[in-house]
């Protein structure tokens, strides 16, 4: 790891989450989650299926609404403003929400690349349409980002011509093109054939080492153990344990985490 843990503790808080709660009807899927993501930190969220990890991630850029709690990105309140005196919640304007979404990149499990555009145009679309960049500048930026993720020779390919791993790397470049404050990655390797997972994890490792602020939901425990600065363990919508990976993986405190890790360690033992 290249970030000094002392420096990490002094870095400003980029994403601040307080008391986040969400209900689907009568069922509470997120229970008062609170955590911080500092500048340059890579936070990995692990947990069993149905624990709410993806829902939690999607609240950060408001692809999911939440009923209680606050999310601040770079100090600014995301999605809802709470009047300090009356406690009344109002949803922010679509304009503000869109502006803040542009500051937080997201990479999806199912890539969601735009099938009718080349890789280059996929990546350049955001800078042109949202950041008002000139088309030639944006395309130059897109080309350099695609080179950074190892796809310099695929700039003119359409998604249909790319493998899953390549598509996901284009998706990462697309998120980077917006120069976001942080990137959210939602199980980005889960839909890939095993032999393609490595190329995507390589790009992610590079991002961590370049100091990108990231929140990663994943099942790739080895990656989390090696490269995360902080790990969050969720189950049933709650934050059960959190801390540096050495502590969570090496010395799990709660029974639930111990049981979860045991299942991973056991895996396929013939």
From the list 13, 125, 157, 221, which residue makes contact with another protein (rule: CB under 8 A)? 125
Token pair recorded at residue 41: 């930190």
From the list 89, 91, 129, 179, which residue makes contact with another protein (rule: CB under 8 A)? 129
Q: Which helix (H) or strand (E) holds 36?
A: strand 27-38
Stretch that binds another protein, among 95-103, 198-206, 225-233, 253-261 (CB under 8 A): 95-103
| Closest by CA position to 42, among listed 173, 201, 258, 239 | 201
- Ranges within 146-185 binding another protein (CB under 8 A): 158, 160, 174-175, 177-178
User: According to the binding rule CB under 8 A, does residue 93 interact with another protein?
Assistant: no
Residue 22 gets the label, from left (phi > 0), alpha (psi -120 to 50) or beta, of: beta
| Cβ proximity to another protein, 59 vs 239, nearer residue | 59
**Tokens 């000094």 belong to residue:** 4
- Cβ-contact 216, 228 below 8 angstroms: yes
Stretch that binds another protein, among 8-16, 112-120, 238-246, 254-262 (CB under 8 A): 112-120
User: According to the binding rule CB under 8 A, does residue 57 interact with another protein?
Assistant: no
User: According to the binding rule CB under 8 A, does residue 132 interact with another protein?
Assistant: no
In angstroms, rounded to a whole number, what is the distance separating the alpha carbons of residues 39 and 45? 17
The least CB distance from residue 129 to another protein, in Å, is 6
In angstroms, rounded to a whole number, what is the distance separating the alpha carbons of residues 79 and 76? 10
Length of the chain: 270
Interacting residue ranges for another protein, rule: CB under 8 A: 61, 63, 94-95, 98-99, 101-103, 105-106, 108, 110, 112-116, 125-126, 129-130, 158, 160, 174-175, 177-178
């Amino acid at each position: 790891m290249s970030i000094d843990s002392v420096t990490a503790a002094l870095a400003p808080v980029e994403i601040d989450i307080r008391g986040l709660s969400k209900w689907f009807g009568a069922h509470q899927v997120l229970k008062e989650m609170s955590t911080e993501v500092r500048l340059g930190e890579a936070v990995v969220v692990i947990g069993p299926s149905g624990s709410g990890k993806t829902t939690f991630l999607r609240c950060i850029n408001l692809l999911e609404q939440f009923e209680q709690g606050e999310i601040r990105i770079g100090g600014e309140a995301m999605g809802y403003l709470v009047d300090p005196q009356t406690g009344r919640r109002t949803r922010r304007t679509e304009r503000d929400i869109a502006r803040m979404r542009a500051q937080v990149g997201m990479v999806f499990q199912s890539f969601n690349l735009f099938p009718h555009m080349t890789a280059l145009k996929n990546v350049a679309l955001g800078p042109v349409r949202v950041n008002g960049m000139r088309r030639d500048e944006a395309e130059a930026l897109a080309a350099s980002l695609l080179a950074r993720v190892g796809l310099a020779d695929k700039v003119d390919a359409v998604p249909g011509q790319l493998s899953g791993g390549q598509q996901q790397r284009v998706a990462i470049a697309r998120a980077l093109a917006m120069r976001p404050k942080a990137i959210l990655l939602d199980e980005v390797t889960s839909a890939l054939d095993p032999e393609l997972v490595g190329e995507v994890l390589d790009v992610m490792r590079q991002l961590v080492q370049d100091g990108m602020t990231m929140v990663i939901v994943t099942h790739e425990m080895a990656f989390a153990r090696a490269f995360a600065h902080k790990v969050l363990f969720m189950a049933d919508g709650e934050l059960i344990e959190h801390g540096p990976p050495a502590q969570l993986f090496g010395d799990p405190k709660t029974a639930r985490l111990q049981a979860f890790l045991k299942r991973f360690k056991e895996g396929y033992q013939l």
